[in-house]
Structure 1
């Protein structure tokens, strides 16, 4: 199998590191070739705090993915999160040298590169420059300017920024694990790729990815990314609360949370208890599930209130910015019992649990169905998009574009041309072809007129 026929997503999370190898099948769905998973030992709240342990965990996950897929892994698309992430809105423009030529992908890249030169706070670096809407000369609210004519190209951007040190640490871990980083993607954006539908992004939706160390949020409206942020609390802090509140070890606290934890105490019975084995001959401990639910509820409500604050900061409660599709909960923390009902009550928006199995073609064991794999599959999808763009077999060669222009119908040529693949030389060549076509048509008319007069005579 050639390298460009498959892609790899690498999720460096707080609790686990997952490597997923996959490719796109003939129906456009993702075929998973192999999965590798390792316990994350060197990451805290989305930030690498132990380089050597993180490198070892990455190597373990990648080795398992290689063994199960049977392919060698070289390039990976990596996710990034952490409390150091912030976002801002920015507008910028460029003046085009030749407004007679239409706008191409190169013009948009030039505008993006200009935005990337923005002066950030000391130690910060731009991760993403995401166009929201464009303005060409005096025409605004344009979502796709490619193919249009204009002198001034302007756009509103959603700019995602992170700490340079954290970004460098992730890059170093990936490099020293023997891998090349194909792309660095904000984790909530990756999760949104795998669990949100186009209709939800159009209507307005917030994805809330509750991971082990962080809760990542991305808000979409009119198919445009409007807001992103990272809350430095996740499922791990709930486990810590259970450990402290019930005076048990972390291993038992995690098991309690996963198997019996509930976000709504009123849904639990007072008479239901669970027994925790004592340590080294000490007596067993009985814990009420209602008490457990109270401990869980206190922390989950705090996280959801922070989510609510971010929704208000965006303006989700205003009529024009209202999130018609509500909230999509994903990540391992969304497996918590009754979380959806509590989210409905706390935020006032309808919510659902986001699964990525809709995009996966061969999930026979259903283990990838869990929302905890949403980010990993989203990173794989992002990697596939990069590969598709780079190795697209449909991308015509320059000479093919010129040959596609019909000689008989000039109007048809204008409709069927593909602007993003045309260069300045092609435009000049095509213009010459049109002039030749016009001359040929004129000659035909003259011949018809001559023939008519000859027949009359």
Structure 2
């Protein structure tokens, strides 16, 4: 096991992070993750609300992050576990079953694989794609709530499933970014599932827990109950929403708002006196602007309250209110805002704590990725060694090949000849511009024509 090295690639809304690591056994015979290399690249314009929107920018950010991790770990990286997210991700409940040909034999893992493969073929809209098929409870010959069917006798094997779907185009863009870096994707995993591998314990999953991953562009919720993932939801408000609120509330530039949030951000306004201010540099030749830190805290508190209320409403909608004995575990970069757990505890009436990637072999790089902002990247490395659900042998469609780019031939242009004008040839004149058809703007241009022709017209 110590020889296998896994690389996690987290494509987030504000950064791309690559982590190379391997699992080792420490002196107490516990499995710990040795971090071999870390690469991180800020991503300002490539991913919006968790979805890749600018492929070129994302491709170059991935290239830099992977190169950095590769240099640190002295590895030639070509295989990665990649994260996936987006506000369009949905959790759809469905059920399916198969009839086994040999009723005398016990149910095998292959039977579950067969059932899962069938579920990946479930009919969904053409613009959607099934990312994960995750079983909740199995049914064997009419007996419901079977946790582990392997080894039981039965003809009919069925299960209630959670189908996690996403926009097909968004999934395609992630594969495109991987392929253009000459990388191969081993697993594509929804971000909160990866984060859960890094910060949740088996006891928490058994008792019932809501993992809330508050990143830059999205807040992701994953509910575990009786050891099984039961529900997933993604909200398009997160750390960037806090920054935007500070920017508009304090009337400052976006990068200044981000700096204020990171250096002085607090979700508890009582931490600051009414007269504590920070001077924010003005635009060129303008005076610095004084910003009250109490105001910044009030803005952060309000937005986090809204996010906590959304999470609580989703927990109720999924039917798990009052059932989550392990409460809420907060992770992602925004979980570093002081006081965030108190807001979630107050709004949801459930105990909340911040989850950090644990079981890391102590070294300098482990210190670097030991905070909630790296939970997804670290979880993607763990995904090479442990599974979300040990009852199934794959969590993404084995039949779906990596993205294959179609090579479109470049158009062949005829060679350019400079026209030679003879005496009777007229000089080439430009064609008059073609009128645009319809549209409000063209109508407006025509309507203004007589006015523009008048002597008093300044144009």
Q: Is the pair's TM-score, using the shorter chain for normalization, greater than 0.5?
A: yes
SS at match of 2:263: helix
CA offset at residue 119 of structure 1? 0.8
CA offset at residue 155 of structure 1? 1.0
| Among 283, 294, 312, the residue aligned to 1:290 | 294
1:94 to 2:121 alignment: no
Structure 2 counterpart of 1:419: none
What are the Cα deviations for residues 225-280 of structure 1, in whole angstroms up to 9, with x where unaligned?
11101001110111111112112122211111011112232343212111212232
1:127 to 2:128 alignment: no
Unaligned runs of 5+ in 2: 391-459
Structure 2 counterpart of 1:338: 339
1:376 to 2:380 alignment: no
Q: Say which is worse superposed, 25-34 or 208-217, in terms of deviation.
A: 25-34
CA distance in 1, matches of 2:346, 2:273: 21
Structure 1 counterpart of 2:38: 35
1:249 to 2:253 alignment: yes
Map 1:364-443 → 2, pairs under 5 A: 364=364, 366-385=367-386
Map 1:181-200 → 2, pairs under 5 A: 181-200=185-204
What are the Cα deviations for residues 59-99 of structure 1, in whole angstroms up to 9, with x where unaligned?
00000000000011111111111111001111111111112
Contact 1:206-1:328 at 8 Å conserved across structures: yes
CA distance in 2, matches of 1:363, 1:243: 38
1:306 to 2:310 alignment: yes
CA distance in 2, matches of 1:316, 1:264: 28
Contact 1:23-1:30 at 8 Å conserved across structures: yes
CA distance in 1, matches of 2:271, 2:50: 32
What are the Cα deviations for residues 263-302 of structure 1, in whole angstroms up to 9, with x where unaligned?
2323432121112122323211111111111222222222
Contact 1:19-1:376 at 8 Å conserved across structures: yes
Structure 2 counterpart of 1:352: 353
Contact 1:16-1:38 at 8 Å conserved across structures: yes
1:24 to 2:27 alignment: no
Q: Say which is worse superposed, 361-370 or 128-137, in terms of deviation.
A: 361-370
CA distance in 1, matches of 2:149, 2:5: 31
CA offset at residue 213 of structure 1? 0.1
1:52 to 2:56 alignment: yes
Q: CA RMSD in A?
A: 1.8
Structure 2 counterpart of 1:6: 5
Unaligned runs of 5+ in 1: 390-457
SS at match of 1:241: helix
Structure 2 counterpart of 1:167: 171
TM-score (norm. length: structure 2): 0.81
1:270 to 2:269 alignment: no
CA offset at residue 316 of structure 1? 2.4
Contact 1:363-1:369 at 8 Å conserved across structures: no
Higher helix share: 1
TM-score (norm. length: structure 1): 0.81
CA distance in 1, matches of 2:140, 2:363: 45
CA distance in 1, matches of 2:235, 2:251: 27
Q: Say which is worse superposed, 140-149 or 304-313, in terms of deviation.
A: 140-149
Contact 1:6-1:384 at 8 Å conserved across structures: no
1:237 to 2:241 alignment: yes
Decide whether aligned partners of structure 1 residues 208 and 363 sit closer, same or farther in structure 2, where only a CA change above 3 A counts.
Answer: farther
CA distance in 1, matches of 2:270, 2:125: 47
Aligned pairs, how many?
383
Contact 1:129-1:158 at 8 Å conserved across structures: yes
SS at match of 1:153: strand
